[in-house]
């Protein structure tokens, strides 16, 4: 089933107070996390949280999602998953770095957000070959898309097909892997929201061929 691009109208509306407060604290914790880790966890680069919020809000206002389950692949500090929760989604995040999982759980807990963060790989069992092909295509530069890790979906008691919306921030050259995983394992009509390094947002839907 192919992915089709959906035009997303994102407005520069003023952030609600609770969102602005959360994002200010999240940015402070991201900066502090980076300062405390001389060697930054592999592949950890934060997206622009305001852009992500406005995109998630646009999805909800336009009723583009067929349901309310959301997963953040490579969740880092869990900002996107937390924002989705604040917008009414039942959200979770999967992150390979344990230190980031702990930090995301604390951030969500401090704002009383019921987000489930687990340590493991977002690459489903059986999809290792897709990741290996990505490594080959990119001269093995993106080895942080780890497949030999805890089964995150087993911990969540959910499968990729259970999510109505997936958010990811692919590293340059990694978008094809994210899209291929989503196309193969996501549910029909599910949405894939991705952010790129140039502060752009892309929304795609999995549709019947």
Q: How high is the pLDDT of residue 1?
A: 66
Q: Which residue has the tokens 């869990």?
A: 78
Inter-axis angle of helices 17-36 and 79-86, nearest 10: 170
Of the pLDDT bands very low, low, confident and very high (cuts 50, 70, 90), residue 140 is very low
Distance CA 208, CA 205 (A): 10
Question: pLDDT digits over 32-73, tens only?
Answer: 988 887 655 545 556 789 999 999 999 999 999 999 999 999
Domain boundaries along the sequence of the chain: 3-206
Q: Which residues of 167-176 are buried (b: 16+ CB within 10 A; e: fewer)?
A: bbbbbeebbe
* Mean pLDDT along residues 125-142: 64
pTM for this predicted structure: 0.89
Q: How high is the pLDDT of residue 113?
A: 98
Question: How many CA atoms does the CB half-sphere of 103 hold within 13 Å?
Answer: 25
Question: What is the dotted CATH code of the domain comprising 3-206?
Answer: 3.40.50.150
Distance CA 75, CA 82 (A): 10
With 50 as the cut, is the pLDDT of residue 118 above it?
Answer: yes
């Amino acid at each position: 089933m192919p992915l089709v691009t959906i035009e997303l109208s994102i407005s520069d509306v003023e952030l609600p107070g609770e969102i602005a407060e959360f994002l200010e604290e999240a940015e402070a914790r991201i900066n502090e996390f980076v300062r405390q880790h001389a060697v930054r966890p592999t592949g950890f680069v934060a997206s622009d949280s305001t852009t992500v919020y406005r995109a998630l809000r646009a999805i909800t206002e336009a009723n583009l999602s067929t349901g309310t389950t959301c997963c953040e692949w490579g969740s880092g500090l869990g900002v996107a998953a937390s924002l989705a929760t604040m917008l009414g989604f039942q959200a979770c995040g999967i992150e390979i770095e344990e230190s980031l999982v702990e930090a995301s759980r604390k951030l969500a807990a401090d704002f009383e957000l019921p987000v489930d963060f687990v340590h493991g790989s977002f690459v489903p069992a059986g999809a290792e070959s897709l990741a290996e092909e990505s490594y080959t295509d990119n001269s093995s530069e993106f080895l942080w898309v780890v497949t030999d890790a805890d089964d995150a979906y087993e911990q969540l008691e959910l499968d990729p097909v259970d999510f109505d919306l997936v958010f990811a921030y692919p590293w340059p050259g990694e978008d094809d892997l994210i899209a291929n995983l989503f196309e193969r394992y996501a549910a029909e009509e599910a949405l894939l929201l991705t952010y790129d390094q140039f502060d752009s947002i892309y929304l795609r839907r999995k549709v019947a061929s």
